Amino acid sequence: MQQSEANSVEDDLIRLLLKRQSELNSLLEITRAINKNMATPVLIQMLEVICQNYLQIGRLRFLIESEGAYICIAKYGGKFEPTGELFKACKQFKKIQEPVHVNNPKNPVLSNYDYFIPIYLKNKPVAYALIGEFSSSEEMLSNDLNFIQTLINVVLVGLENKKLFKERLQSERFQREMELAGEVQNMLIPVQQYKDESIELSARYLPHQNVGGDYFDFIKINENEYLWCIADVSGKGISAALLMANFQASLRAWATVEDDLTTIVDRLNKILTRNTKGERFITLFLARYNKKTRKLNYINAGHNPAILYAAGSGAAQLKLGTTMIGVFDELPFLNQGEMDVDKDTLIFSYTDGLMDREPDVSKSWNEDKLITLANKYGKLLPNEFNTAILDYINRYIKAKPIDDITLLTLRLY
């Protein structure tokens, strides 16, 4: 009798050791798959195979937290329930952190399962598992449940690592995109200072982020004529930078062969609409000046009006033009402003980042106040004028900008 009991104990010990060895092998296989960066479906399939074939679990539901909601990523056995019903059933055990027996025959979901297994990370529930059609010996039950919890935890850590790795790749890809967009944008920005006997220019570009959507250009077309443009492209990043590059190429191409600004803007609108299918738009102020005739032609396409300051008449806005381009196949209206320019006239154009602030300060900082400053500083040189405007904002307008700021100021001698 004693010999029989000894043999039984020895047999139980051998079975326990073999079971532990199988458990370790299962964890090792999962760990190897994680280290090899196996796809998520492969890891889930391995978990299901281990649970179904090795642990003899007839029914499994595995829910994980994802972006504030729970999704069921592994399930087999029985009729599949809606994820919402599974999560609602699991919430009954929200304060439990260890595997527990499910004893709720009245609940239509829980009645199909034997055990609830929670997974916590830093005292926060991140996953739940329900197992059914599962039986284990009394002496092995605690070990089996702990192993299932460990196994699920390992898989969850692997999925989290894959998520973090993917986020890191996305972050690096985004950073590289920003660098490329910055390089493209830098190639588009012309000289920020220009001066000859007829015209002087100064520009300031203050991006709100690494890469913005503002754009400006200055072109000496021929011996007597100059063209300049300031624009704001919708969107950010490499797509906006490439859109700006295409816009600049189109603008420069048409500016060299076409004298009429309305034709140039109409062509730019058609090109942009065709390329973006109406999903992007550009606001712009475009001007052309002939130093021999002292004629200034301009079009304001949905942009902040440029300000013209002349000593004899003060500051005035240049508003004639059209709506933003890229929205309509045919612009609903298109008007060109034309005027004779006096000597020493200053023209100041800017993007909306100069005016938009957080929190809102529109009562104290608006276009009327900007015109007042243009009258006050209008006799300064372009670079001094830009500095005076920015200094005033820094000194009296405490709110922070919420967009890129571009200033483009010219004096016509």
DSSP 294: T
Output the furthest CA–CA distance in the chain (Å, rounded).
123
- The C-alpha angle 262, 263, 265, rounded to 5 degrees, equals 65
Half-sphere exposure of 369 (CA within 13 A, CB side): 13
Query: Of 135, 167, 199, which residue sits at a domain end?
Result: 167
CATH number, domain containing residue 148: 3.30.450.40
SS3 270: helix
> Per residue in 213-243, pLDDT tens?
788 999 999 999 999 999 998 877 677 777 8
Query: Of 113, 132, 167, which residue sits at a domain end?
Result: 167
329-335's contacts with Cβ under 8 Å and 24+ in sequence apart are: 329/270, 329/273, 331/265, 331/266, 331/269, 334/262, 334/265, 334/266, 334/299, 335/262, 335/299
What integer pLDDT is reported at residue 111 of this predicted model?
92
Assess whether 206 and 116 both reside in one domain.
Answer: no
Helix spans in 258-306 (H): 261-276
SS3 97: coil
Are 328 and 273 spatial neighbours (Cβ–Cβ below 8 Å)? Answer: yes
Q: How many residues does the chain have?
A: 413
Enter the tokens of residue 287. Answer: 């001007």
The model's pTM is 0.60
Assess whether 269 and 309 both reside in one domain.
Answer: yes
Q: 318-343 in b/e burial notation, b at 16+ Cβ within 10 A?
A: bebbbbbbbbeeebeebebbebebee
In angstroms, the Cα distances linking 171 to 168, 177, 208 are 5, 10, 19
Query: Where do we find the tokens 């034997």?
Result: 114
Assess whether 223 and 121 both reside in one domain.
Answer: no
Domain annotation covers residue 339? yes
Containing structural domain, residue 377: 189-412
Number of structural domains the chain divides into:
2
Assess whether 53 and 111 both reside in one domain.
Answer: yes
Are 236 and 257 spatial neighbours (Cβ–Cβ below 8 Å)? Answer: no
What integer pLDDT is reported at residue 133 of this predicted model?
92
Query: Where do we find the tokens 């281990």?
Result: 50
Are 397 and 361 spatial neighbours (Cβ–Cβ below 8 Å)? Answer: yes
Domain annotation covers residue 31? yes
What integer pLDDT is reported at residue 222 of this predicted model?
93
- The C-alpha angle 238, 241, 243, rounded to 5 degrees, equals 110
Domain annotation covers residue 23? yes
Taking residues 182-191, what's their average pLDDT? 62
Q: CA-CA distance, 297 to 226, in Å (whole number)?
A: 11
Q: 45-54 in b/e burial notation, b at 16+ Cβ within 10 A?
A: ebbbebbeee
For 368, the enclosing helix (H) or strand (E) is helix 367-377
Q: CA-CA distance, 43 to 18, in Å (whole number)?
A: 24
Q: CA-CA distance, 178 to 212, in Å (whole number)?
A: 10
Assess whether 67 and 115 both reside in one domain.
Answer: yes
Enter the tokens of residue 134. Answer: 């599962």
- Weakest mean pLDDT among 15-19, 136-140, 193-197, 216-220: 15-19
Domain annotation covers residue 177? no
Half-sphere exposure of 168 (CA within 13 A, CB side): 6
Rounded CA Rg of the chain: 35
Helices (runs of H) and strands (runs of E) counted in the chain: 8, 19
Taking residues 307-322, what's their average pLDDT? 95
Taking residues 245-269, what's their average pLDDT? 93
Pairing of strands 321-322, 295-301: parallel
Q: CA-CA distance, 50 to 128, in Å (whole number)?
A: 17
- Weakest mean pLDDT among 106-110, 306-310, 331-335, 376-380: 106-110
Angle between helical axes of 138-188 and 237-257 (0-180°, round to 10): 20
What integer pLDDT is reported at residue 211 of this predicted model?
57
* Higher pLDDT pick, 21 / 52: 52
Domain annotation covers residue 242? yes
Assess whether 25 and 144 both reside in one domain.
Answer: yes
Taking residues 251-275, what's their average pLDDT? 94
Assess whether 252 and 294 both reside in one domain.
Answer: yes
Of 132, 142, 85, the residue nearest 108 (C-alpha):
85
What integer pLDDT is reported at residue 164 of this predicted model?
63
What integer pLDDT is reported at residue 65 of this predicted model?
84
Domain annotation covers residue 175? no
Enter the tokens of residue 202. Answer: 């100064």
CATH number, domain containing residue 240: 3.60.40.10
What residues form DSSP beta bridges with 229? 217, 286
**DSSP assignments along 13-45, one per residue:** HHHHHHHHHHHHHHHHHHHHHHHTT--HHHHHH
Domain annotation covers residue 115? yes
Domain annotation covers residue 180? no
Assess whether 161 and 221 both reside in one domain.
Answer: no
Are 118 and 93 spatial neighbours (Cβ–Cβ below 8 Å)? Answer: yes
Model confidence at 5, in pLDDT bands (50, 70, 90)?
low
Assess whether 283 and 400 both reside in one domain.
Answer: yes
Reply yes or no on whether the pLDDT at 186 is more than 70: no
What integer pLDDT is reported at residue 135 of this predicted model?
82
Are 406 and 205 spatial neighbours (Cβ–Cβ below 8 Å)? Answer: yes
